[in-house]
A = this chain, B = another copy of it.
Amino acid sequence: MFDLDLRSRKPIYEQLVEKFKELIIKEVLQADEKLPSVRTLARQMTINPNTIQKAYRELETQGYIYSVKGKGSFVQVSDDAVNQEELMKIKEKLTADISEALYLGMTRTEIEQLIKEAEESIGGQKTND
C-alpha cells in the first residue's frame, strides 16, 4: 500500500498515521471508503496487528476515520464542527511555523505560494498518484 521506514526513529504507527492522513486529505481515499483490516494490513506489511490498531485508533481520535466492530474502519466525512479541537492545534502549529519561516528568510509571498499549491493538491486529482 505504501512504504515505511522500519529503521526510522519515527515510530511505525506514526508513519502510518501520516500516510493515511495524507491519502485522506488528498482524497485518494474517499468518504466512507473501507480501509484494509488491521490483520490484513499487518500481514501485508509484516508488522504486528497491534501497531496497525494503534494507528487506526489515533486516526479515529483525530476524526479522520471511524470504526465499526465486525465491519471495518472507514474514512470519516470531514465535519468542521467535530474537528474544532484539531483545528485549534493546527492553528497554533501554523502560527509558530510561520513565524519561524519568516525569521529564517522566507517571504510572505513564498508562504502564500505554498497555500496555493496545497489548495490545488487537495481537490484537483482523480485516482492517479
Number of chain copies forming the complex: 2
Q: How far is the CA of A104 from the CA of B108 in the complex (A)?
A: 22
Interface residues of A in 14-60 (CB under 8 A from B): 18, 21-22, 24-26
- Distance in Å from the Cβ of A2 to the closest Cβ of chain B? 15
Instruction: Count residues on chain A whose CB falls below 8 Å from chain B CBs.
Output: 37
Whether the pair B101, A94 counts as a contact (CB closer than 8 A) is yes
Whether the pair B99, A25 counts as a contact (CB closer than 8 A) is yes
Whether the pair A112, B112 counts as a contact (CB closer than 8 A) is yes
Q: Per a CB cutoff under 8 Å, which of B24, B86, B95, B118 touches A102?
A: B118
Q: How far is the CA of A62 from the CA of B90 in the complex (A)?
A: 23
- A87-B104, A98-B114, A102-B115 are known contacts; what are 17 more A-B pairs with Cβ within 8 Å? A18-B96, A22-B96, A78-B104, A78-B105, A80-B104, A90-B106, A91-B101, A94-B97, A94-B98, A94-B111, A94-B114, A95-B117, A102-B122, A103-B122, A108-B119, A112-B112, A112-B115
